[in-house]
Structure formats: C-alpha cells, structure tokens
Amino acid sequence: MLSTRGTARAVRRALAECMSGAIAAFSLFNIPLRFNRPLRTFMGDAGSTLLGFLFAALAIEVTHGGADRVPPVVILWLIPLPIIEVFTTTLRRIARGLSPTHADTGHSHHVLLRSGFSVGAICLIYFLVSSVCALVGIAADERGVGKPVLFIGFLGLMALWSMFLANAARVAAWLPARLRRDDRAVI
C-alpha cells in the first residue's frame, strides 16, 4: 500500500505525464512544419485556460511537499515565458487604464508577428528560450544557487525579454528570409 506521500508523488507524475502527452500530441498538429500544414487544430480559450490551470496546480503541488519539493523560484525558470507574459500583460493593461482581463494584441507573439518574425521563428524562439531557461533553473538548483540569486536572475531575464520585444523589428531585419514574415499585417 502506498503512503500518502507516495500517492501524491504518483498523482503528480501521472498528471505531468498526461500533460506532456497532450501537449506533444497538440504540438504535432500545430508546430509549423511542412508535413503537418493541413493538420491544424485550435486550442481556444478553454484549452489554454485548462492548460494554464494544470501548470499552476502542478507547480503548487511540486513546491509543497516533503524532501523532494521544488523551490518556488525554480518554477519561474521552468515555465518562464507564460509567467513573464502574465505579469507584463497585467501591468500593461493596468497602465493603460484597462481591466487586466481585457483582450488586446500586445502579447509577445503578436509583437513578434508585427515585427516581421514568421510563425516558425516565433515557435523556435519560444522553444529555445523555454528550454535554456529550464536547464538553467534546474542546474542552478542542483548546484545550490541561492533563491535570491535565482529570483534576481529571473527579473534580469524579464528585462532581457522586454528589451528583445522592444527591438524585435531590428532583430527581424537580420533574420534569414525563411524566418521572416512576408506580410506584416496587423495581428
């Protein structure tokens, strides 16, 4: 018979595996590659809200546990772009006098599209930034880097991401043609 702690660990693992499988299947149909162009699906608000809720629930669960718990600051490094997006979007909307739940086109991917990045380039950037940040967070935690250092580093990452977005049009001009968007329609 499993202990309560063992059961919780098994549930966390099962949830993480289910989420990974669902995200992998969804990505198979939506990562912009030549072989899957006719195979597009749409997650929509309900799907993205559920995914965000599951990420948040899993993050809370793994930060509250026994000896195998993950420090909360490491979660910032494991899912950096959604966390940065939540904070910057909320602050941007409040600064404009809007409700934080008001829809707009100021999200990072919209900024990159308007700046001239192709959908494939944006997907690649998100994947690379997320992967590198996760590796940095895990490595820093395993090496015993202090929590304040990790948090200040994350704030630095937020600043770098904001500077990248502010200069996205200049960066896009340097991209190879296959990574640039041909039509710069307002998204």
What lies within 8 Å, CB to CB, of 168 at 6+ separation is 111, 112, 115, 116, 117
Mean pLDDT within 95-116: 91
132-173 pLDDT, tens digit each: 999 999 999 999 999 999 999 999 999 999 999 999 999 998
- Distance (Å, whole) CA 123 – CA 100: 25
So where are the chain's domains? 70-179
Task: Collapse the DSSP code of 100 into the 3-class scheme (helix H, G, I; strand E, B; otherwise coil) and give the result.
Answer: coil
Can you give the pTM of this predicted structure? 0.81
On whether the CB atoms of residues 80 and 130 are closer than 8 A, the answer is yes
Question: For all residues of the chain together, what is the average pLDDT?
Answer: 85
Most confident of 43-47, 67-71, 123-127, 177-181: 123-127
**pLDDT of 83 above 90:** yes
CB atoms within 10 A of CB 31: 13
On whether the CB atoms of residues 116 and 181 are closer than 8 A, the answer is yes
Whose tokens are 């910032």? That residue is 76
Task: Collapse the DSSP code of 162 into the 3-class scheme (helix H, G, I; strand E, B; otherwise coil) and give the result.
Answer: helix
